[in-house]
């Protein structure tokens, strides 16, 4: 009808069964937000673990010109005789000069180890200290003051730092702590991914000679090993047993570890009463390292006297190789 207006039907506040939903209910939006948070957090954690295990670039950090590839760290007990200190420093400095390495000789008393803690723990803060002094060095090598380098002309790169060489030497799928630890070394780790190299003896892990690759993982590892909880715990062999514990219980450390045969760079000069009881890691002429393990701790032994024959032999090798 003219002039008549027909109003639109009033919209109902109750949607029909066919009306599309225009918004997600509040409780569902909250659930979606929580799930998204968990997903993002999970990916972040996964990325961190991959980064930690990977240790950065497989090729390692680029070493600026003039930076040593290796820093040899040998903590010295202030109670050592001056002749003993001179021998150790002479041995290390000669080797370092041949291959462009650096040497570091801190005192075992330079660091706060906590009361009643054995001075052998000082190897860990001394390594951490070396990281700050040579932040661009590729590797740190802890070598006990009871050991001598007996192959002055052989660089560590050729000996075991080359990834392919290291892979050929690695002890894989074997108990970390002999003879029957249920935790075994990884069988698939690649040489360029290894950040921690050491040896075993017949009793367990041996820390008289070990290598740590410089980087964020090294800082994490050394700090974890030096944790006050481990220092205050009465481990029978102090930092050695602490290391065995963390290697077996922390996958991020086991995943970066390579065990190599003991005679590669930690041969023992056996104690007088053990010469016929342990031969696998016993020093033989031509070995890289001669470790007079225990000679400083045992009051019935003299490192000076025991080292004298091999020190003379080392000087002969040193002089003959410098003449070439």
| Whole-number Å distance between alpha carbons of 89 and 75 | 11
Q: Is residue 208 part of a domain?
A: yes
For the cut 70, the answer to whether the pLDDT of residue 193 exceeds it is yes
Residue 316 lies in a domain: yes
Note whether residue 159 is domain-resident: yes
Task: Give the pLDDT score at 21.
Answer: 54
48 band by pLDDT with thresholds 50, 70 and 90: very low
Query: In this structure, what is the dihedral angle of CA atoms 274, 211, 48, 57, given to the nearest 10 degrees?
Result: -140
| Residue 82 forms part of a structural domain | no
- The whole-number average pLDDT for the span 32-41 is 59
Nearest alpha carbon to residue 211 among 177, 160, 163: 160
Total domains in the chain come to 1
Q: Does 47 have pLDDT greater than 60?
A: no
Is residue 237 assigned to a domain? yes
**Residue 12 belongs to some domain of the structure:** no
Identify the domain containing residue 153 by its residue range. 98-322
Query: How far is the CA of 293 from the CAs of 10, 267, 271, 289, 307, in angstroms?
Result: 96, 9, 8, 11, 11
β-bridge mates for residue 72, sequence order? 103, 141
List the alpha helices (DSSP H) in 100-215: 123-133, 156, 163-169
Q: Residue 301: its pLDDT value, please?
A: 93
Position 71 in a domain: no
Helix 82-99, helix 303-322: angle, nearest 10: 30
* Sole residue written with tokens 């932040």: 135
pTM over 0.75, yes/no = yes
pLDDT, tens digit, 9 for 90 and up, residues 54-100:
444 444 456 677 799 999 999 999 999 999 999 999 999 999 999 99
Residue 22 inside a domain? The answer is no
Return the CATH number at 148. Answer: 3.90.550.10
């Amino acid at each position: 009808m003219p002039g008549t207006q027909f109003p639109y039907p009033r919209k109902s506040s109750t949607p029909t069964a066919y009306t599309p939903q225009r918004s997600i209910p509040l409780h569902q939006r909250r659930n979606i937000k929580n799930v998204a948070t968990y997903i993002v957090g999970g990916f972040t954690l996964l990325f961190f673990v991959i980064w930690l295990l990977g240790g950065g670039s497989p090729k390692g950090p680029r070493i600026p010109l003039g930076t040593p590839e290796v820093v040899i760290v040998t903590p010295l007990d202030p109670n050592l005789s001056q002749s003993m200190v001179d021998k150790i420093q002479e041995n290390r400095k000669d080797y370092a000069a041949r291959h462009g390495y650096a040497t570091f000789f801190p005192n075992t008393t330079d660091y706060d180890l906590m009361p009643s803690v054995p001075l052998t723990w000082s190897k860990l803060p001394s390594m951490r200290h070396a990281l700050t002094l040579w932040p661009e060095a590729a590797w740190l090598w802890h070598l006990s003051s009871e050991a001598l380098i007996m192959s002055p002309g052989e660089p560590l790169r050729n000996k075991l730092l080359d990834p392919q060489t290291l892979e050929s030497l690695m002890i894989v799928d074997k108990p970390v702590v002999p003879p029957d630890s249920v935790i075994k070394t990884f069988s698939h780790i690649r040489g360029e991914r290894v950040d921690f190299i050491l040896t075993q003896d017949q009793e367990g892990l041996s820390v008289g000679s070990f290598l740590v690759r410089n980087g964020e993982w090294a800082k994490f590892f050394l700090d974890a090993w030096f944790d006050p909880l481990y220092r205050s715990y009465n481990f029978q062999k102090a930092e050695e047993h602490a290391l065995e514990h963390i290697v077996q219980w922390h996958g991020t450390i086991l995943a970066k570890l390579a065990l190599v045969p003991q005679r590669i760079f930690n041969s023992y000069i056996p104690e007088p009463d053990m010469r016929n009881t342990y031969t696998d890691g016993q020093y033989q002429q031509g070995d890289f390292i001669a470790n007079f393990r225990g000679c400083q701790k045992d009051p019935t032994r003299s490192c000076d006297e025991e080292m004298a024959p091999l020190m003379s032999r080392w000087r002969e090798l040193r002089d003959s190789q410098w003449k070439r």
